[in-house]
Amino acid sequence: MAIKLIATDLNGTLLHNDQTFNQSLFKETLAALKQRGIRLVLSSGNQFTHLEKLFHEVLADNLAIVAENGASIYLQGQQVFDGSLSAAQVRQFVTVDRHQDFLKSAYIILVGQQGSYTETGAPQVLIDAAEKFYDNLHQVADLSTVTDRIKKISVSTAPGQGAQLVADLNAYFDGQLRAHDSGYGVVDVVAANVGKLPAVQWLAERWHVAADEIMAFGDGANDMPLLQYARHSWAMSNAPAEVQAAATRVTSVDNEHDGVLTTIQSALMLI
């Protein structure tokens, strides 16, 4: 198995449910990958500033971070790809699009370069959930006044309604923007060329890596395109059945028991 790039989702995949991970095993695995010339890509819907704090003790030159569902790519702390929404797209969304019938009851978070923003009066349960994934969260009276460069727009949805909201948004935007189900009751709206799969493909082209040289891990609907693309794809044992069906294999243990790292360690014996 000739692997040159391993891409993994974070929440529900590499990370434990409390947002921690096995740092010693991670460092050991990353060092083993480096010896074999293999790069590791951490891919998440989370804000980059949040991920940088989470992984600051294990950063290495063979580690890349894909943040905001593919809107940002960082190598060695430097941004190499910026897929931010345009100011016009953000203004259109907060003044026109969000007032469509299927969005009227949704709460909105703008995720930017410097911080994240939601409207004053948002339910405390939403604020508490958002602060687990987004740093520097501000409540503002009017989202149209936000001047930060916006990476993605997160839209809250009821449990089990993510797939329908994604379908409604993508039909409404008709290719101008793209919606992805990030799980946890959130759908992310990003630029049309942005996503976890496009981000990994962008890095693969930069590093001259083919699809059959990529290993991927994921547990959610927004991981499925990458799992279907990569030749060696693993769904987590804790992933829903439809995600497991999209991958070539399923891990033997879940995210709480370091399923990604132990699977990589086992696979390295075959590389």
What is residue 267's predicted lDDT score, i.e. its pLDDT?
86
What is residue 180's predicted lDDT score, i.e. its pLDDT?
92
> Tokens at residue 215, please?
């290993």
**Local mean pLDDT, 10-residue blocks, the chain (271 residues):** 92 96 96 95 93 94 96 95 97 96 91 93 84 86 96 89 92 96 88 96 97 96 95 97 97 97 86 48
Residue type for position 3: I
Domain ranges of the chain: 5-82+194-268, 87-191
- The CATH number of 87-191 is 3.30.1240.10
User: H or E element: which one contains 49?
Assistant: helix 48-55
Q: Which residues contact 108 (CB under 8 A, 6 or more apart)?
A: 94, 98, 118, 119, 143, 153, 154, 155, 156
- Could you identify the residue written with the tokens 């063979």? 62
What is residue 1's predicted lDDT score, i.e. its pLDDT?
57
Q: Does the domain at residues 5-82+194-268 carry the CATH identifier 3.40.1190.10?
A: no
β-sheet bridge partners, residue 5: 39, 214
Q: Which residues contact 43 (CB under 8 A, 6 or more apart)?
A: 7, 8, 9, 10, 66, 70, 196, 199, 200, 226
Residue 162: count of CB within 10 angstroms of its CB: 23
DSSP classification of residue 16: -
Query: What CA–CA distance (Å, rounded) separates 61 from 40?
Result: 10
What is residue 61's predicted lDDT score, i.e. its pLDDT?
94
Query: What CA–CA distance (Å, rounded) separates 195 from 198?
Result: 5
